[in-house]
Amino acid sequence: MKPILWITCKLPEEIVEPLKSWADVREWPTVEVNMPHEKLEEIIQEADILWTIMDNRVSRELLQTAKNLKLICNLAVGYNNIDVEAAKELGIAVTNTPGVLTETTADLAFTLMLITARRIIEAADEVRNGDWTYWGVNHLAGRDVHGATLGIIGMGRIGEALAQRAKGFNMEVLYHNRRRKPQAEEAYGFSYRELDALLQESDYVVVLTPMTPETKGLIGKRELQLMKNTSILINVARGGIVQEDALYDALKNGEIWAAGTDVFVQEPVSTSHPLLTLKNFVALPHIGSATLRTRKEMMEMNIESMHDYLEGNPIRHRVV
Ligand code: DGY
């Protein structure tokens, strides 16, 4: 009997079709709406392999209801949507997609710095809405990225890729990380700072740390107040790392100059979210790794893990 592979979102036909030679493939049918949690509760009971996306909340309670589940492949490098400790205890392997999305996500982080600093969304909207009525000396004037100081919180692969881009813009790069990276410091000239010092010195603070119990709510009122009132905060990691109410206050009160984020506590974010009322806030819909090539490579990586499991080989890209 073929193992049951449940795919919780609609993936391209050319990816799914070949899987049918070895799996009994069951998939969520539409792209417009992702699988609701109630459906996940139902299908987890029959799946041998579960192919998840970060919208799926795979808690300990949910995992305990799984009867045959042996492998979860998460279509993301982050896996905070899955209780990996519980999975480990229950003998369920979990895999992710590190590496292949590094450069693409660094591109997006740098893009978000540029568009937030140069007020690109406001500017483009002005043209499109017919509001471009004059040229003014400080009209839509933003902040320079080149030559500024970039502070990266979480210096993993994506952080290093972002820092290399920053070097091309003659930026000074500071970083804060759980572990210092002397080799990268020497090779690329990055400087380590304690979190408070990084916040105080940087013109751009980019959050790239994974979401863990330690980083949840890491950037709140106190941290935002440490930042310069000319500085810009960028978050392309996970929504809950930056406290959204504190960010709203800091932007509204001019404690920081602007912010750009690709991630929210609740995704998709509600259009009535207070942050969306602010002109100095740029919002993107979690598209860090969204290029055609990278998404294909992420899917292929998940499939490699499935093949390893099937063939009884050590499972590549395994988290637990
Ligand atoms: C990741 O890989 O963790 C991204 O946030 C999902 O695109």
Q: Which residue is closest in CA terms to ligand 1's atom 1?
A: 76
CATH 3.40.50.720 location in the chain: 4-98+292-311, 102-283
Active site residue 238: yes
Q: Which atom of ligand 1 is nearest to the CA of 96?
A: 2
The confidence score (pLDDT) of residue 279 equals: 96
The finding on whether 54 has its CB within 6 A of some atom of ligand 1 is yes
Residue 196, amino acid: D
d(C-alpha 131, C-alpha 203), whole Å: 30
Average pLDDT for consecutive 10-residue bins of the chain (320 residues)?
97 98 97 94 98 97 98 98 98 98 98 98 98 96 98 96 97 97 91 98 98 97 98 98 98 98 97 98 98 98 98 98
The confidence score (pLDDT) of residue 188 equals: 87
CA of 17 to the centre of ligand 1 (A): 24
CATH class, domain 4-98+292-311, is alpha beta
- The domain defined by 102-283 carries CATH number 3.40.50.720: yes
Which string of DSSP letters, residue by residue, matches 266-315?
A: SSSPPTT-GGGG-TTEEE--S-TT-SHHHHHHHHHHHHHHHHHHHHTPPP
d(C-alpha 15, C-alpha 30), whole Å: 15
The finding on whether 153 has its CB within 6 A of some atom of ligand 1 is no
What ipTM does the predicted assembly reach? 0.92
